[in-house]
Structure 1
Amino acid sequence: MKSNQNVFLLLMMQQLFLLLRIGKTIEVRVTEPKAYSCQISKIAIANVELEITQEDEKSLIHAIRQWCIEVKTTTKEDGTSHCSDGNEIKLDALVPHQSWILVAVILLVDNGSWHASLEEGIIFETAHPDSLLCVNYGSPFPLSESILKALNKNELRVNWPKPGSFVIPAPTVAVSLSFVYPNKTISTLSGTICVKIFPLIPDEARTCICLDIIESEFFEFFLPTTKIQYRRQLALVFEYWTHNQKFATIPIEIWIDPQYKPFPPSSWSSASPLLLVLCHWRENLDWLQYQSQPYLIYEKRPELRDIANHSTPRNTANEASAYLQFIVDYFYDLPERMLFLHSHRYAYHQQDIVTLLYDLKNAPPEYCNINSAIWGTLEDPDRLFLYNSSHRSWLESYLGPLPSLLLDRCCAQFIVHRDRIRARPLSFYQDALRIALDPSIDEENKEDNRQLGLFFEWLWHYIFGEPPIATPDLEQFVPNITQINLVYYHQSIPSCLRSRPLPELLIASTGGVGTTMLLTHYYQVVGILTNDAMDNDKLKHSVVPPELDSIQCALYIFGDPQDVYKSLERRGFLEDTIKKIAKENATTDDPLALKSHFQNWQQLPTKYPIMFLKYNSLWEKQTEINEYLQTCFDRTLYIPPLPKRRERKSAHTPLPKNLYHEYAKTVQNLPDLWIRQPSSSLSSVL
């Protein structure tokens, strides 16, 4: 690292010269990549913002002809650079894998001289392409938005599974891919698909599975379950071979749990929190064994009506007749929420239902359409006027005057609360069922039945109390609805489908004690659902133990307060930490309010146990930590050792005189580890 230190020294001398030369204050922030992070090997995205803090900033901006980012590696003296006249630079740079990178920002003023900015540079590491792992900082996942945007220029796109979103609790992974042409049109695939599976665990080799598909956008592949026996995170890269050309997707990370054994679905009652109501024709129902929700199947095949427990008397109106039959049958005994479904595992309009159901136990809303596609009226203009037909009078007798347009995601699969259903009288659903079972419609006439099904498809959300345009994100399609045929809307996740499951393990601290390392390890390597390592969920430094039903247990990490202060100051996090955790509890001798943070976690009641761990003993107490975690979860965990301990770079950072002197002695005398049991308020050990 000596060469990097020399570069930094040169940059700082140039910075001083620049300030003396132009006499103004300049701030440059490198917003991407994050310092001391792991990044994709083949590409480095450098986002930099330039800010001039003086009143006459316009004159200084004119004096700066250009400014550049220079990327250097520890394995090469020379580097690549990219210049811009704007206030942000996005740089795509090829860099050697598993090397340290220095991103330096330099300015070109009007006299043609190069001068460094006030930013001394950012160092990060790149991953090996065969493992997608870095030596020191784990994996590059989750990829940042800017990196995803820069990488996602390929013709081959992954519609789902979404990166890092859900656990796939099955031995097979269902995938949707699209081929995107330069004019933005998409097509199905015909050719060979190969899936590269990266374990994201050191010293474990990747595997590859290939299969042929014909005119399809979906496929399933079996996980190598002999090697993958625990819930864990994997990275996938899909390669598509067609006409002697190869196309590849960006790498995506997914959670898998191939040994997941759900409890057999219980019988349901009005007290059940969620019931699946399935309209079944000839779909494969094997996927039901990979989920734990109770379900009720309404059979539509004529040959099974007499022997099925539940059925519709006629196969008309597509899924609408089955949904309405259930509501009429159980109007006074409805469970709390129902998820009305077709019976397929996935379709063009729906992501893998197995993964969606895994997370729907997290408080689904009162109404939510789970589909991922939108139909316009370009090729089917009658859709827009279905409810303006002879049925309008009885509809308005219950619903009031109908709006000019009703719009929701397509294909009639949704969660709804029983209160929303019962907001309409039983007579409304009885009348609707009579229309859905119209005896004048031939059961074999697919088009007539399709039209009658569409009639209800555009009404469901409005029947259940949603606005005419179901969600604000659909407003963009309204002006051109007559020019739209089908829109794949995979990029927008419905409100009932979380982008990340709620944590089952909470890891918290004041910062400066390895919390990010622990979160990354237990989430990416061990396969435990934790709070977010980047603190996007605001749980990492929570001042009080959060009240979340999903949390099974917690780790609270604390350390020498002087080391904490110096670590935060060295990394530039001091001001942010004060804003997050100190607030009104800060004092002169405790500017970070470390004492009150620690006491809150000891004293306030919780529903889950908390293990308190001293940072300096983390590596020595791994056996005790592992035993604690095994007792928290009803599954076997594979827990490899923590990453190798690194020397604290802040050890020689100066500290304000006597700051935390007495409190450091108190913390030093605390035990290295203890467990606080749930639902108790304990007195402070300080």
Structure 2
Amino acid sequence: MADGTVNDAPMLSNQHAPKIPLALNRGREAASYLSYIITHYYDLPDYMVFIHGDRYQTHNDDPMFDTLPLVQKLDLDYVDLEGYVNLRCNWKHCPKPYIVPQPGHEDSIWEAHGEYAKAWEFIFPNETLPEKIAAPCCAQFAVNRRTIHRWPVAQYERIRAWMWSREGDLPSMKAGIILEYMWHILFGKPAYWCAPVKPCYCGTWNICDLDCDETKGWCKGRIWTPDPPPSMPVCMSIGFKHGKSLIFSRAIGQWRVRMARRGQLKAGKSIRRVRMVTGYLRWIDVHKHFDDSRW
């Protein structure tokens, strides 16, 4: 990205190509990120954007959940200034600490307090364990070469080796959570990093005219609900591309049927969440609050 161009560097894993001898995939996106850094450590580009594979994802900080504008509008001068920039300004998992490291803590399936403390001791043996960890989710960020080079390549190899060594006793999902809330620390930010949202949007994407509630870390016109559904319906991207509420509604309807069959719509909260999605997408179509030029 040094000359204004973007070079894709998709990192395949053995999860997607099991018959090809590729790096072991652990920690969701974490092992792929680390493998890229390790492989290209001595010839890294000036700037890098680490993102997930799907274009449309509910954790994208975009009104249409689209990855494309997050990359297209990214201000590289701001990345150069900050060194590390989370591609989510909205306070998902802020301001309340998401992880409170506690050595010896017995974690539930969604907790990582005890395991985070173990990982910290291995990865940062000479550093004091933080009292609380917080940052917006979801492991998508931009970083410059100088910031990655704060650490020798051996440190990234050490982290990846830790992930691989825990394959038998630490679920991949939990390993991913640990790294998700360690990237910002690794790249020079405080352990508790809930930055003001309006300056974040203004600096990251030059979106500076937002109406924001800094106490809640939320701006009108960006993320429309603090708790969107965990995954996108398969055909929603078709709906986004054509901008038709009918397609949106059909996509959501089909999604609800599939979820109901799997027993995932028994809780009223989940049902209300899906209805909220449907209503919002219809509102977008009626008021034409999308930019056809991006397609």
TM-score interval w.r.t. the shorter chain? 0.5 to 0.7
Alpha-carbon distance change, 440 to 360 in structure 1, aligned in 2, over 3 angstroms: closer
Alignment of 1:211-610 (within 5 A): 272-273=1-2, 293-302=6-15, 304=17, 312-350=22-60, 351=62, 352-360=66-74, 362-365=76-79, 366-371=83-88, 372=90, 374-375=92-93, 377=98, 382-389=111-118, 391-397=119-125, 400-438=127-165, 440-441=167-168, 448-473=171-196, 493=201, 495-499=203-207
1:293 aligned counterpart, secondary structure: coil
Following TM superposition, by how much is the alpha carbon of 1:354 offset from its aligned partner in structure 2, in angstroms? 1.0
Tell me the TM-score normalized by structure 2.
0.56
Q: Distance in 2 between matches of 1:471 and 1:425?
A: 27
2:77 aligned counterpart, secondary structure: coil
Alpha-carbon distance change, 303 to 347 in structure 1, aligned in 2, over 3 angstroms: closer
Following TM superposition, by how much is the alpha carbon of 1:380 offset from its aligned partner in structure 2, in angstroms? 6.5
2:2 aligned counterpart, secondary structure: coil
Identity, in percent, stands at 23
Gaps of 5+ in 2: 100-107, 210-295
**Residues 324 and 429 of structure 1 are in contact (CA less than 8 Å); yes or no, is this contact kept in structure 2?**
yes
Letter in 1 for 2:72: Y
Alpha-carbon distance change, 363 to 305 in structure 1, aligned in 2, over 3 angstroms: farther
Following TM superposition, by how much is the alpha carbon of 1:302 offset from its aligned partner in structure 2, in angstroms? 3.9
Alignment of 1:198-209 (within 5 A): none
Letter in 1 for 2:9: L
Structure ranking higher in strand proportion: 1
Following TM superposition, by how much is the alpha carbon of 1:313 offset from its aligned partner in structure 2, in angstroms? 2.0
Following TM superposition, by how much is the alpha carbon of 1:361 offset from its aligned partner in structure 2, in angstroms? 5.3
2:9 aligned counterpart, secondary structure: strand
Letter in 2 for 1:294: N
Q: Distance in 2 between matches of 1:416 and 1:296?
A: 15
Following TM superposition, by how much is the alpha carbon of 1:395 offset from its aligned partner in structure 2, in angstroms? 2.4
Q: Distance in 1 between matches of 2:196 and 2:75?
A: 25
Alpha-carbon distance change, 370 to 451 in structure 1, aligned in 2, over 3 angstroms: same
Alpha-carbon distance change, 274 to 394 in structure 1, aligned in 2, over 3 angstroms: farther
Letter in 2 for 1:299: L
Which has the larger displacement, 348-357 or 409-418? Answer: 348-357
Structure ranking higher in helix proportion: 2
Deviation string 1:534-591 (CA, Å, 9 cap, x unpaired) is: xxxxxxxxxxxxxxxxxxxxxxxxxxxxxxxxxxxxxxxxxxxxxxxxxxxxxxxxxx
Structure 1 runs, 4 residues or longer, greater than 6 Å off: 378-381
Say which structure, 1 or 2, has more relative contact order (CA 8 Å, 6+ apart). 2
Q: Distance in 1 between matches of 2:8 and 2:137?
A: 23
Deviation string 1:24-58 (CA, Å, 9 cap, x unpaired) is: xxxxxxxxxxxxxxxxxxxxxxxxxxxxxxxxxxx
Alpha-carbon distance change, 494 to 396 in structure 1, aligned in 2, over 3 angstroms: farther
Alpha-carbon distance change, 441 to 327 in structure 1, aligned in 2, over 3 angstroms: same
Letter in 2 for 1:397: P
Alpha-carbon distance change, 494 to 346 in structure 1, aligned in 2, over 3 angstroms: farther
Q: Distance in 2 between matches of 1:460 and 1:495?
A: 20
**Residues 349 and 373 of structure 1 are in contact (CA less than 8 Å); yes or no, is this contact kept in structure 2?**
no
2:184 aligned counterpart, secondary structure: helix
Alpha-carbon distance change, 346 to 306 in structure 1, aligned in 2, over 3 angstroms: same
**Residues 298 and 312 of structure 1 are in contact (CA less than 8 Å); yes or no, is this contact kept in structure 2?**
no
Deviation string 1:588-629 (CA, Å, 9 cap, x unpaired) is: xxxxxxxxxxxxxxxxxxxxxxxxxxxxxxxxxxxxxxxxxx
Letter in 1 for 2:135: D
Q: Distance in 2 between matches of 1:466 and 1:338?
A: 17
Alpha-carbon distance change, 274 to 354 in structure 1, aligned in 2, over 3 angstroms: farther
Alpha-carbon distance change, 410 to 393 in structure 1, aligned in 2, over 3 angstroms: same
1:416 aligned counterpart, secondary structure: strand
Tell me the TM-score normalized by structure 1.
0.25
Letter in 2 for 1:359: K
2:242 aligned residue: none
Following TM superposition, by how much is the alpha carbon of 1:356 offset from its aligned partner in structure 2, in angstroms? 1.8
Following TM superposition, by how much is the alpha carbon of 1:301 offset from its aligned partner in structure 2, in angstroms? 4.4
Alpha-carbon distance change, 303 to 456 in structure 1, aligned in 2, over 3 angstroms: closer
**Residues 370 and 494 of structure 1 are in contact (CA less than 8 Å); yes or no, is this contact kept in structure 2?**
no
Q: Distance in 1 between matches of 2:111 and 2:191?
A: 18
Alpha-carbon distance change, 312 to 364 in structure 1, aligned in 2, over 3 angstroms: farther
Letter in 2 for 1:470: W
**Residues 312 and 321 of structure 1 are in contact (CA less than 8 Å); yes or no, is this contact kept in structure 2?**
no
CA RMSD of aligned residues (A): 3.3
